[in-house]
Structure 1
Amino acid sequence: MASQSSPTADARSTVDVLRQRYAQRLPTSLHDLAGPTDGEVELPLHIAWSGLRTYNLHRPRQRMSYYRTVLTEGQRDDLTALLDGDLLVSQWPVLRTLVSRHIRDVWEAVFPALTGGTSAAA
């Protein structure tokens, strides 16, 4: 008889895989995030393969959507090139509600500055 894993074990392993995937993408420091802070930015196709690709960072809703998309789909090089550390910190209180729990947990665990704490990596 084949062994079956429990739904709880499957969910836990999925959570672990997702968290590991997002953790591998993290920059070393929030200071490494040196992306644009204004103007229009066009995301590469590997990040935004459908829908809106060009975002005006002066428009708060577009900026929030841009950050959410990059956090969700970007690799480490994308994060450092497309996100700005200061903007990320200032937007985090709202942005954290727009990204998945896995992304939020990984970023907040490594960068306590996002939640008002301090860290040498911040």
Structure 2
Amino acid sequence: MPSSLRELAGPVHGRVELPLHVAWSGLRSYDLDRPRQRMGLYRIVLTEGQRTDLVAFLDRDLLLAQWPDLRTMISRHIRAVWEEAFPELGRRTSNRT
């Protein structure tokens, strides 16, 4: 886990290819300009990524914007760990109308 969401400085546009240790099965290349592919990349990185992957592939602002929907795509355990470490994610969900 990063110590702060500010550490998440991944790309916000274009194609991203995930390394095999993260995307070991199925799609490895994602277009961040396509919302469904972006959500897929974030789900995989949150689920399978190591700290260096989180920092390299996730962007703070995109994570915050997508969190209300993204949190339903990941396990309860991962969701709880992230929301406990970064309360702004949980607030993002509770402020959603």
TM-score scaled to structure 2, two decimals? 0.92
After superposition, the C-alpha distances for 1:46-84 in whole angstroms (9 at most, x for unaligned) are 000111000000111000000000000000011001100
Structure 1: which amino acid aligns with 2:44?
T
Structure 1: distance between partners of 2:80 and 2:42: 16
2:85 matches 1:110: yes
Pick from 46, 50, 56 the counterpart of residue 25 of structure 2: 50
List runs of 5+ in structure 2 lacking aligned partners: 93-97
2:93 matches 1:97: no
Residue 53 of structure 2 corresponds to which residue in structure 1? Answer: 78
C-alpha displacement of 1:93 = 0.1
Structure 2: distance between partners of 1:77 and 1:53: 17
Structure 1: distance between partners of 2:45 and 2:56: 10
TM-score scaled to structure 1, two decimals? 0.74
User: Which SS does the other structure have where 1:55 is aligned?
Assistant: strand
Q: CA RMSD in A?
A: 0.9
Q: Percent identity at matched positions?
A: 67
Structure 1: distance between partners of 2:23 and 2:6: 24
C-alpha displacement of 1:110 = 0.9
Structure 2: distance between partners of 1:84 and 1:112: 17
Structure 2: distance between partners of 1:87 and 1:112: 16
List runs of 5+ in structure 1 lacking aligned partners: 1-25, 118-122
C-alpha displacement of 1:40 = 0.3
Segments of 4+ moved more than 4 angstroms: none
Structure 2: distance between partners of 1:49 and 1:99: 17
